[in-house]
Structure 1
Amino acid sequence: MIAYVTVGADDIARAKRFYSALLPALGYALEEGPAGLSYTLPVAPGQSPVLPDFYVKPAFDGRPASAGNGSMVSFQARNQQQVRELHAAALAAGGSDEGPPGFRAAYGPRFYVGYLRDPQGNKIALFSSDPDEPGRDG
């Protein structure tokens, strides 16, 4: 199980604008501190943490943050409409398009996905594979 994911950012304010345009809609709460941004899913009293956490922080070595070539973080949306809405919101919040929401021939017939880059260049995917929605072939 993945416990947390961290992406680097040199401009935390720009990163906050971008990630706050999509992660709260997926249930994540933001906690901001001197070390950066922490997005976590709510935990009911007496329950174990819901993972993974998502952190946005300056690079620990003090050098400029850079996006990993071939790295991507994917977030599951409730449905295809939410993929479209969050993709648009993330673009309006400073992200760049890496592939508009839609079906991809290389993936299963119900895998609906949109790709983005955050302001630092980290690749983000938003997807839905809801079996109650129309698929690529229907």
Structure 2
Amino acid sequence: MIRHIGINVSDLVKAKYYYDNLLPSLGFELHIVAEDQFAYRPSDNQSGPSIFFYPALEDERYSRHKPGLQHLAFTAESRSAVNDIHAKAQLLGSEIIYPPQLFPQYRPHYFATFWLDPEGIMLESVCLTENHSN
């Protein structure tokens, strides 16, 4: 089981603002704040990996098309929650890759949205049920 994920970012302050406005809606709470890092963990003592953010030590731009991390997916309880996250990502100025829609090629009822964070990391919110309400 994955315990935590570490992500390097070019601007720690900008990344913290972005994720402070996004991750609570995805079921995470702020866990660590320090000069050289911040981290989120699953809210309400839920199990799951924490996400740590660190300042990048090199200037190379991230690309999901190079070897390495391709994207991070977050489970949503309903299709409405996917729609809400999509709206929040838009408000934060994120580039939307796919608006909320069904992706039957993945599996039945796979309803998701995909977008890029400020570093260009692709993020996904996905609901795997027919549940339309919160």
Q: TM-score, normalised by structure 2?
A: 0.82
| Pair 132,29 (structure 1): closer, same or farther in 2 beyond 3 Å | closer
Moved more, 13-22 or 112-121: 13-22
In 2, Cα distance between equivalents of 1:66 and 1:75: 23
- In the TM superposition, what whole-angstrom CA distance separates every residue of 1:32-83 from its partner, at most 9, and x where no partner exists? 2112220112465xxxx72200122212xx1126324241011111111111
| Pair 14,66 (structure 1): closer, same or farther in 2 beyond 3 Å | same
Structure with a larger share of its residues in strand: 2
- In the TM superposition, what whole-angstrom CA distance separates every residue of 1:85-116 from its partner, at most 9, and x where no partner exists? 11211221132111111112421121111001
Alignment of 1:73-112 (within 5 A): 73-112=72-111
2:33 partner letter: E
Aligned structure 1 segments of 4 or more residues deviating by more than 3 angstroms: none
Q: TM-score, normalised by structure 1?
A: 0.80
Alignment of 1:7-26 (within 5 A): 7-26=7-26
TM-superposed deviation, 1:130: 2.0
Compute the RMSD of aligned alpha carbons: 2.2
- Mind listing any 5+ residue stretches in structure 2 that lack a counterpart? none
| Pair 121,54 (structure 1): closer, same or farther in 2 beyond 3 Å | same
| Matched length | 128
- Mind listing any 5+ residue stretches in structure 1 that lack a counterpart? 134-138
Please name the residue that 1:64 is paired with.
Answer: 59
In 2, Cα distance between equivalents of 1:127 and 1:43: 20
